[in-house]
Amino acid sequence: MLSRERLAHTTFLMVLTALAGLPGLRAQAPAALCRPVTFAGLADCIPRGVIGYMARLVFLTVVALVVMFPRAVSACTCVVDPDKPFAIQPASKGVFAIGTVKQIRSEANPGFHAIVVEITEPILNASAGDVITFLTRTSDEACGYSGFSPGGRYVIESSYFVPAAPSPGPIDRKVLEELWGGVPAGSHIVWRCGKTRPLNTPEGDKALGEIREAVRQLRR
């Protein structure tokens, strides 16, 4: 059950956003302002204007609810095209490696765990002996990877965090703060839907093979 306090807080944010955004609708350009962004900036790909504003509000409200009440919404769903091989983009700054978990700790943002990993076998964007702190969501529903354990060895794939451009909208600021507050630019994020898996398991062996093949294709 959702607490009355948090439900009231969410409702207040929605009303505040609607009231704050309406006066500026006429000033917004009708064309879509879409550019390559991270998940945190997906709302920027929704067209502006009255209809776009409402779509944007709905999108950000859903994201806020997922963050605040993860168990009240559907669990994380990974969509994979079995006919499309795993690929790494040429400009990717994500880390692909095998490493040993040295420490798991909490972060200032309660939505994340920090996983300190010593790289034992670098594959891409890492060196042997590097100690890298990866971040992952604390809940499976938010697509966090919960399979880490101290001393465990893992095949790791991370995404490189680039903050979304600042937005004047109060709901934008609130959601971005809920999602990414305290997360520095350049952080490495591990997702449940990525290739991170325990080493020497069927899933880990499969993920490692796909990563190696993707790197081989990337370097051709």
User: What 3-state class would DSSP assign to 23?
Assistant: helix
Task: Compute the residue count for the chain.
Answer: 220
Beta strands 188-189 and 131-137, pairing class: parallel
Check pLDDT > 50 for residue 173.
yes
| CATH top-level class of 96-218 | mainly beta
Domain ranges of the chain: 4-72, 96-218
CA distance linking residue 116 with residue 175, whole number of Å: 27
Threshold 0.75, pTM exceeds = no
pLDDT per residue as tens digits for the range 37-57 = 344 444 444 444 555 555 555
67, 142 Cβ separation under 8 angstroms: yes
CA distances from residue 88 to 5, 83, 94, 109, 210 in whole angstroms, order as listed: 44, 16, 9, 29, 10
Question: What pLDDT does residue 59 have?
Answer: 54
Question: What pLDDT does residue 42 have?
Answer: 43
Q: How many CA atoms lie within 13 A of 104 on its CB side?
A: 15
pLDDT per residue as tens digits for the range 76-127 = 888 888 889 999 999 999 999 999 999 999 988 889 999 999 999 999 999 9
43, 55 Cβ separation under 8 angstroms: no
Tokens in use for 102?
A: 């040295």
pLDDT, mean of residues 163-182: 74
CA dihedral 188, 192, 197, 203 (to 10 degrees): -150
Mean pLDDT of the chain: 76
